[in-house]
C-alpha cells in the first residue's frame, strides 16, 4: 500500500531543533519573543519618550550593524518594502529610473515606476530567473535600482556604483532579504532599503531606508516642489519624523521591540560580517548537499550568484510539493518555492537566525524522504 507523503514520519533524531525555514516572514528567535512578552512598551503611545527612545535605539543598532556613516540618515516608515517602491516613485525618482529585473521583486519596482504618470518610461534590463544583471547606464537616468538578493529565486547581485552613470544619479538597492545576512559596503549605494521580517528577525509592515547625503538632498528637493505626494508616501515627511525618532503614523511597537532585540544579537555576534559568515555556513551545507545528491540541483547555476540567505533547489525524479508536504507534516515548515516561479523546487531560508546545524538536519530529512518518495534519480 502506498503511503501518503504526509503520513511519513521522519525519525526524531533526524529532525532539526527548529523547523522554521521560511523566506519571510522568517524565524524569530525564541529569546526575542520571550523578551517581547516582558516588554512594557506595548500598548503605549508612540509619541511619548519611551517609544521614541526605542526608535532611537533601533536606529543606533542599525547604524552599528551596517556601519552607516555619521552624515547619513536612517528613515523609517510603515508599509514594508512594497510600499517603499511607491515611496521611491513619489519621492526619489526625478524623471527617469533604470532598473535591473531578475525576479518577481526587482520587476515590481520597475513596474511601479512605469505606472507613475509624472515619470518618464523607465529603462529595464531583464534576464532569466536564477541569474542577475545590473541596470544599464543612461545619460538621463537619475535613479539606478535593483535587488541585492532576489527573494523569489535565490539569486544574489553585486552592490556597486554603476560605471558610466551620471555622478548625480542615485543608487537605490532593495536589501529586504539580504539586509542583516549578507555583508556589504552601504556607501556603494545612496539608498539601501529593507523590511525586518527576514534576517532582522522581526515582523513585517515596516520599511527602513539608509540614506546618503545625496539621497537626503534629493528627498528634500523633491518635497519642496509642487509634485503631488500623498503624505504616507512622502520620504520628506518620513525623514522629518525619523529625525525625531518617530514614524508619520502609528507603528507596530512589537515589531520595533523584536527588531531591537535582533539587532543587539547580531551586533553581539560580531556585526554584519559575522552574521554573513553564519548564513554562508548554512548555504555551504545546503548547496553542497544538493550538488552531491542525484535528485537535487541548485537552481542558481553560477556559484557566485547563489544567495547565502535564500537557497533554491530544483528536484528531478520526485515531486517537490510532496517533499514540502511531508516536511510540513513533520514540523519542518515553509520550504515551498515562490508561488509564481513555477518550478519543481524547494526554497530554504538561511537567515542568521537559522542554526547552520538545523540546515544540515534538513538535508538529512530530505535524504530520508527521497529514499521513500524519489523515483529514478536524474
Q: What is the pLDDT of residues 275-316, one digit of tens each?
A: 999 999 999 999 999 999 999 999 999 999 999 999 999 999
Question: 190: how many CB neighbours lie within 10 A of its CB?
Answer: 26
Q: pLDDT value at position 24?
A: 87
pLDDT value of residue 257: 98
- Mean of the pLDDT values across residues 249-261? 97
Average pLDDT of span 16-30:
97
Question: pLDDT tens for residues 61-108?
Answer: 999 999 999 999 999 999 999 999 999 999 999 999 999 999 999 999
Determine the average pLDDT of the residues in 102-120.
Answer: 96
Q: Do domains 16-28+270-373 and 30-268 have the same CATH topology?
A: no
Q: Give the tens place of pLDDT for each residue, 156-166.
A: 999 999 999 99
Judged against a pLDDT cut of 50, whether residue 371 lies above it is answered with yes
Nearest to 191 by CA among 119, 104, 88, 94: 88
Helices (H) and strands (E) in the chain, counts: 10, 12
Taking only the tens place, the pLDDT of each residue in 50-65 is 999 999 999 999 999 9
Q: Specify the pLDDT at position 68.
A: 99
Q: What percent of the chain has pLDDT over 90?
A: 97
Q: By C-alpha distance, which of 60, 61, 128, 71 is closest to 100?
A: 128
Which pLDDT band holds residue 2 (cuts at 50, 70, 90)?
Answer: confident
Of 340 and 296, more confident: 296
Q: How far is it, in rounded angstroms, from Cα 49 to Cα 45?
A: 9
> Where exactly are the structural domains of the chain?
16-28+270-373, 30-268
* Span 224-245, pLDDT tens digits: 999 999 999 999 999 999 999 9
User: What cell does 114 get?
Assistant: 512605469
For the full predicted model, state whether its pTM sits above 0.95: yes
Query: Of the CATH numbers 3.40.640.10, 3.50.50.60, 3.30.465.10, 3.90.120.10, which one belongs to the domain with range 30-268?
Result: 3.40.640.10
pLDDT band (50, 70, 90) for residue 1: very low
Grid cell for residue 191 = 539608498
Residue 113: C-alpha distances to residues 51, 123, 147, 198 (Å): 34, 10, 15, 25
With bands split at pLDDT 50, 70 and 90, how would you rate the model's confidence at 376?
low
- Alpha-helix residue ranges (DSSP H) falling in the chain: 30-38, 49-65, 80-91, 104-115, 213-223, 235-243, 253-269, 272-292, 320-329, 356-373
Which fold does the domain 16-28+270-373 belong to in CATH?
A: 3.90.1150
d(CA 274, CA 283): 14
Amino acid at each position: 500500500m502506498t503511503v501518503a507523503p504526509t503520513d511519513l514520519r521522519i525519525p526524531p533524531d533526524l529532525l532539526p531543533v527548529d523547523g522554521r525555514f521560511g523566506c519571510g516572514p522568517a524565524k524569530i528567535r525564541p529569546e526575542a519573543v520571550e523578551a517581547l512578552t516582558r516588554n512594557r512598551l506595548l500598548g503605549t503611545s508612540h509619541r511619548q519618550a519611551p517609544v521614541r527612545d526605542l526608535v532611537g535605539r533601533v536606529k543606533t543598532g542599525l547604524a552599528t550593524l551596517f556601519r552607516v556613516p555619521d552624515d547619513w540618515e536612517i528613515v523609517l516608515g510603515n508599509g514594508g518594502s512594497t510600499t517603499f517602491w511607491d515611496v521611491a516613485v513619489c519621492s526619489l525618482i526625478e524623471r527617469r529610473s533604470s532598473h535591473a529585473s531578475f525576479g518577481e521583486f526587482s520587476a515590481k519596482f520597475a513596474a511601479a515606476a512605469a505606472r507613475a504618470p509624472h515619470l518618464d518610461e523607465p529603462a529595464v534590463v531583464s534576464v532569466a530567473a536564477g541569474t542577475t544583471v545590473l541596470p544599464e547606464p543612461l545619460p538621463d537616468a537619475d535613479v539606478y535600482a535593483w535587488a541585492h538578493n532576489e527573494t523569489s529565486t535565490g539569486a544574489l547581485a553585486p552592490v556597486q556604483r554603476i560605471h558610466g552613470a551620471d555622478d548625480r544619479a542615485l543608487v537605490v538597492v532593495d536589501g529586504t532579504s539580504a539586509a542583516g545576512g549578507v555583508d556589504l559596503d552601504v556607501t556603494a549605494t545612496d539608498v539601501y532599503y529593507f523590511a525586518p521580517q527576514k534576517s532582522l528577525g522581526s515582523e513585517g509592515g515596516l520599511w527602513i531606508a539608509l540614506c546618503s547625503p545625496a539621497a537626503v538632498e534629493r528627498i528634500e528637493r523633491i518635497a519642496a516642489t509642487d509634485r503631488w505626494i500623498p503624505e504616507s508616501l512622502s520620504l520628506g515627511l518620513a525623514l522629518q519624523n525619523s529625525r525625531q525618532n518617530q514614524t508619520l503614523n502609528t507603528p507596530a511597537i512589537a515589531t520595533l521591540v523584536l527588531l531591537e532585540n535582533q539587532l543587539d544579537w547580531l551586533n553581539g555576534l560580531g556585526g554584519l560580517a559575522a552574521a554573513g559568515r553564519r548564513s554562508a555556513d548554512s548555504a555551504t551545507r545546503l548547496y553542497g548537499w544538493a550538488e552531491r545528491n542525484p535528485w537535487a540541483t541548485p537552481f542558481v547555476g553560477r556559484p557566485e550568484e547563489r544567495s547565502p540567505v535564500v537557497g533554491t533547489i530544483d528536484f528531478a525524479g520526485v515531486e517537490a510539493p510532496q517533499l514540502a508536504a511531508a516536511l510540513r507534516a513533520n514540523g519542518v515548515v515553509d520550504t515551498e518555492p515562490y508561488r509564481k516561479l513555477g518550478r519543481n523546487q524547494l526554497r530554504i531560508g538561511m537567515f542568521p537566525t537559522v542554526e547552520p546545524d538545523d540546515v544540515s538536519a534538513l538535508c538529512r530529512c530530505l535524504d530520508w524522504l527521497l529514499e521513500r518518495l524519489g523515483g529514478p534519480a536524474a
